Amino acid sequence: MLHKPASAADPGRCIQEGDLVVVYEGFDSMKSVWVTAKGNCNNKYGSFAHADWLGKPFGSRATARKGGGWVLLLAPTPELWTSVLRHRTQILYVADIAMVCAMLELRPGAVVLESGTGSGSLTHSLARAVGPTGHVWTYEFHEQRAQMAAEEFRANGLGDIVTVTQLDIEEGGFPERHHGKADALFLDLPKPYKVVPSAARCVRPDGMFCSFSPCIEQVQRTCEALNANGFRDIRTMEVLLRSHEVSRVQLQTDLEAPPAAPAGRKQGRQQQQQQQQQQQQQQGRGAKRSRTESGDGTEQGEAARPASDAAAAAGAASEAEADAPAAAEAASGEAAAGAAAAAGAEEEAAAAPSGGQQQQQQPARQVVSKPVPFGRGHTGYLTFARRVVPL
């Protein structure tokens, strides 16, 4: 949907003077701009000269001469036009528009009747669906809105596909020239049930009908009128649009317990040193017990025991002398174990990162999405029905 029929056949061409460009500033910020040789586009990202856009293909990135920001230059489509058009009335957005075009079974060459042109949001999508050989006849009861819509259709290159007429369809119905010639019909009126008899005369057999209503009471009365005027396969649906924001955040699964330190060589070395110390102590006690049991006075009986106190003292001295090497050996073993533990601690500290580095390490950032609480959209009830052959 470019503003010239020639460009519509070649959407990959470069931007020329007089073209309509959709300036993409952000996900929810776009505007339509007509390109002129001396024009400028100013926004919060800077000042953009139209002359810099000429010769660039649609979809290019344009950098501001002042401000250093950038925007995207997009070719206008019905979906983008819905986001940038001037609102004269409430409009249909892409969720409802997509369902309408699909359920009305539109195709190139089809003829569509529309009542309630409004701002022309749906009309652009209807024209693209039936073009280039089909036609959309749209009616608006408000004269000024009908004139403004007709000017926009011509400017956007749809003048040969869309015909706008100022007429109150709700009171007088569709003109007789449309009887039996419409492949599909759409109503966006306060009282669509009043137009159902006229719609039945215009829609050909096996053609589709659709009405958009914000209130369920309108839907109930419309369904009764459809059933009484030869429409079947009547169904009503509500299309809800829910957008999501995708971002990258840090996720931590456990906020209380820090991660356990891995069991390394330091812990195993300490256990081995403790086992060695216990073995050395047991060996020293065993040697002392064996020397005590092998003394000469043990086999002489009770008479030999009090024979000499000096002998007892000498035995105690000899035992102390015998235990001295064992104690020294144990002390040296403990000292060696302490030195080995200290060396292991130094080696472990050198291998592990410092505490500051551990604090600087952060969890990996994960891609998550969350629904947007508020979004652009106006939804209501869509009622579809099929015109059947009368008996």
| Phi, psi angle pair for 214, to nearest 5° | -80, -15
pLDDT digits (tens, 9 = 90+) for 310-360: 444 444 444 444 444 444 444 454 544 454 444 444 544 444 455 444 455
The whole-number average pLDDT for the span 125-145 is: 96
- Of the spans 212-226, 255-269, 356-370, which averages the highest pLDDT? 212-226
Between the alpha carbon of residue 325 and those of residues 28, 315, 331, the distances in Å are: 88, 17, 10
Inform me whether the pLDDT recorded for 197 exceeds 70: yes
Closest CA to 101 of 90, 112, 109: 112
Range in 12-16, 20-24, 86-90, 187-191 the model is least confident about: 12-16
List, as one string, the DSSP characters of 324-384. Answer: HHHHHHHHHHHHHHHHHHHHHHHHHHHHSPPHHHHHH--PPEEEEEEE-SS------EEEE
Share of the chain above pLDDT 70, in %: 71
Give the pLDDT score at 322. Answer: 44
Distances (CA, A) of 246 to 13, 189, 362, 369, 370: 33, 38, 21, 4, 7
231, 387 contact by CB (below 8 A): yes
Predicted local distance difference test score (pLDDT) of residue 296: 46
CA angle 140, 146, 152 (to 5 degrees): 130
Radius of gyration for the alpha carbons in the chain, expressed in angstroms and rounded:
46
d(CA 233, CA 214): 21
pLDDT at residue 181 tops 90: yes
> Do 40 and 51 meet the contact criterion of CB atoms below 8 Å apart?
no
β-pairing, 244-250 vs 60-63, is unpaired
Q: Residue 251: which pLDDT band, with cuts at 50, 70 and 90? A: confident
Alpha carbon separation from 68 to 46, 52, 303 (Å, rounded): 6, 14, 114
| pLDDT range class, residue 371, cuts 50, 70, 90 | confident
Q: Is the pLDDT of residue 198 over 70?
A: yes
Give CA torsion, residues 167, 170, 173, 174, to 10 deg. Answer: 50
Give the model's pLDDT for residue 304.
Answer: 40
Most confidently predicted of 82-86, 198-202, 279-283: 198-202
Q: Is the pLDDT of residue 306 over 50?
A: no
Q: With bands split at pLDDT 50, 70 and 90, how would you rate the model's confidence at 231?
A: very high
Q: Does the pLDDT of residue 291 top 90, yes or no? A: no
Provide mean pLDDT across the span 111-125: 96
**Local confidence band at 244 (pLDDT 50, 70, 90 cut-offs):** confident
3-state secondary structure of 258: coil
Q: Flag the least confident range among 206-210, 233-237, 278-282.
A: 278-282
Query: Which residues, listed in sequence order, are joined to residue 381 by a DSSP beta bridge?
Result: 213, 238
Q: In the prediction, which pLDDT does 242 show?
A: 83
pLDDT in tens, 259-275: 555 555 666 677 777 77
Q: What is the pLDDT, as a whole number, of residue 351?
A: 47
Among residues 162, 163, 165, 224, the alpha carbon closest in space to that of 191 is found at 224
* Summary mean pLDDT of the chain: 80
Tokens of 23: 């300036």
Per-residue confidence band for 36, with pLDDT thresholds at 50, 70 and 90: very high
Whole-number pLDDT of residue 11:
60
Q: Looking at per-residue confidence, does 372 or 218 come out higher?
A: 218
Please name which of 181, 178, 232 lies closest in space to residue 209, comparing C-alpha atoms.
232
Ordered DSSP codes for 65-121: SBSS-EEEEE---HHHHHHHSPPSS----HHHHHHHHHHTT--TT-EEEEE--TTSH
What would the mean pLDDT of 74-95 be, rounded to a whole number? 93
Q: What is the pLDDT of residues 5-31, one digit of tens each?
A: 454 445 677 999 999 999 999 888 999
Q: What residues contact 86, with CB distance under 8 A and at least 6 apart? A: 119
The β-bridge partners of 135 are: 111
Give residue-wise pLDDT tens across range 60-83.
999 998 878 999 999 999 999 999
